[in-house]
Amino acid sequence: MPDAPATSPWWLYLLACEDGRTYAGIALDVHARFALHAAGKGSRFTRANKPVKILGAQSFATKSAALKAEHALKQLERPQKLAWAAARSLS
């Protein structure tokens, strides 16, 4: 029996923006999505608040799980968001 095809994980990511705010989102490829945001083609928020770096990211098996985690992350206060990102830094 052949193995099931591997599926790409969904990623929850947190970006730092020029104005000091953060932006959370989900994507299949965090670096490609960051490039879109930086080019002004990502979201309305990042068109108005240019992102400067990826603070952190976490993978999830499904889009649904990533969306739920994104909602939970957005409910946190800024210090908690930054702590979340520090524990999941990509660098």
CA distance 70 to 47: 20
Within a domain: 29:
yes
The total of structural domains in the chain comes to 1
Residue 16: beta bridge partners?
A: 22, 53
Within a domain: 28:
yes
User: Residue 75 belongs to a domain with what CATH number?
Assistant: 3.40.1440
Name the pairing type of β-strands 51-60 and 10-17.
antiparallel
In tens digits, the chain (91 residues) has pLDDT values of 455 445 899 999 999 999 999 999 999 999 999 999 999 998 999 999 999 999 999 999 999 999 999 999 999 999 999 999 999 997 6
Within a domain: 71:
yes
Within a domain: 2:
no
Tokens 């989102």 correspond to 25
The boundaries of the domain holding residue 77 are 10-86
Within a domain: 5:
no
Within a domain: 37:
yes
